[in-house]
Amino acid sequence: MAGAVIVALDGTVLTVAQPTLQRDLHTGFAQAQWTSTGYLVVVAGLLVFGGRLGDRHGHRLLFGLGMLGFGVTSAAIGLAPGIGWVIALRVLQGVCGALLQPATLGMLRAAYPPDRLRGPLAVRTAAIGLAAAAGPLLGGALVTASGWRAVFFLNVVPALVLGALALASVHRDRDRERVRPAPGLDPAGALLLAVTLGCLVYALVGSPGSGWTSGNGAALAVAAAAGAGFVRHERRTSDPLVPPELVGSRAIGAALGVLVAASAALHGALFACVYVLQETLGLNPFESALRSLPLAVLMVAAAVLCPLLLRRAGVRRATAGATALLATGILLLGGDFGTPVICTAFGLVGAGFGTVMVAATQVVVRQAPVAYAGVAGGLQQTALNVGPVLGVAAAAALAGAGGPRLPLPVLAAVAAAGTAAALLLPDASSPASGTRIRGRGTPLVRPRRDHDV
């Protein structure tokens, strides 16, 4: 959980520091944006492969290496002499992030039986929510007091300490007997998926700031071709990057769809609301932040209370209700209402998204066999990286065509589409998934016993 918080803090504090970084390094807006874009492109492309590496070599090892790399690159960025160094080091940091993020979920899946995953996932989501809420405030204070370099030094010591602790306990992973032979790495599939997701993110991240260009179109075409090649390759190879146990699971597919829809709706709505609050309503940034504070508060509260809700209502009803809350909140944000309604709308958005995060994530992690926990974690993280990119790109395009309020009802419809996907999730009476043992022949399913981990 501490590793997930470090990654969440890194992204939010950098957003605050970018204008100061741009001025101090005498660079343009496009180059400054690449400090975020370069990281996003790399991490989105490598998350699933990072999870596969964890499944093969142990999640503690990948977590430890990723955290050490994250800490070292953070320190190097803080000492970087120019914007070119900053961008290159952020790309390298994205590789480290792709190693450690799936491992955070893989370690939880290995440590807890399926029926006890709700609590740890709820605490993890609440911690990430607190980090996302505190990041802008902490980043603003550090940049004001010490400059943009301070935000990168913030994570150095915690990352190095956590990485060292993880590597010191790698033997605990190695001492555990595997329920199946270690999966192959499928480098060809990993490369095709990395090109697909990297080019998709590059095309969508670049379009809001510069409009749709030939470069964006070319990247999108490459993504489509690589995606088709990836699907064809996965069907033919004997040991695919994304195993049939995950691809063929209706529950996992529906949960990933809910995460993409919810994260796209949330981040696209936040992008549009900045302009609605500051340009349309004439509020300053601080006044806007105060009105959006219920989002962070209710997101953390919803994550904490979600395990109880899941036990009483079941995954299907809880997730469908949460996506409906999210859609209602976004729809209210698009209306011409006063401060009480705006604050209420932000609260509904936070409560809905916090519940969706815990509920859908526990479906992905719980339904995946332990041997593929890393790949499942990589898929979950990929959904939460691609969804925001899609949402912001759509919001920017719609706002340019019809003003900042136009994206909000459309994004509310996207969240409502997540409600339809939620109806495909398991209900309260669905049995926990068994532990799959796959040898060379037909996959076998051994019923899960209470003492299984």
CA 339, CA 333: separation in Å to the nearest integer?
Answer: 10
Tens digit of each residue's pLDDT (9 = 90 or more) over 81-116? 999 999 999 999 999 999 999 998 888 888 888 888
Confidence category of residue 183, pLDDT binned at 50, 70, 90: low
DSSP 59-107: HHHHHHHHHHHHHHHHHHHHT-SSHHHHHHHHHHHHHHHHHHHHHHHHH
d(C-alpha 289, C-alpha 302), whole Å: 20
Distances (CA, A) of 105 to 91, 97, 135, 305, 427: 23, 13, 22, 20, 23
The 8-class DSSP code of residue 423 comes to: T
Tokens of 54: 């964890």
pLDDT digits (tens, 9 = 90+) for 111-125: 888 888 888 888 888
User: In Å, how far are 30, 66, 147, 366, 413 from 250, measured between CA atoms?
Assistant: 41, 31, 48, 13, 22
Q: How far is CA 187 from CA 52, 253, 398, in A?
A: 10, 23, 38
| pLDDT recorded at residue 89 | 94
Beta bridge partners of 435: 446
312, burial (CB in 10 Å: exposed 0-12, middle 13-18, buried 19+) = exposed
- Provide the token pair at 327: 């859609």
Cα distances (angstroms) measured from residue 251 to each of 245, 300, 357, 368: 11, 25, 15, 10
Residue 201, classed as helix, strand or coil, is: helix
Token couple for 318? 């809880």
pLDDT at 292 over 80: yes
Measured CA to CA, the distance from residue 97 to residue 36 in angstroms comes to 13
pLDDT(449) > 90? no
Report the alpha-carbon distance of residue 53 to residue 65 in Å, rounded. Answer: 12
pLDDT for 306-328, tens place per residue?
999 998 999 999 999 999 999 99
Q: Could you give phi then psi for residue 164, rounded to 5 degrees?
A: -65, -40
Percent of the chain with pLDDT over 90: 38
Placement of tokens 């949330």 in the chain: 266
Degrees, nearest 5: CA angle 401-19-346: 55
Residues 117, 104: contact at Cβ < 8 Å? no
DSSP code of 427? -
Helix, strand, coil percent values for the chain (each to nearest 5): 80, 0, 20
For the cut 50, the answer to whether the pLDDT of residue 285 exceeds it is: yes
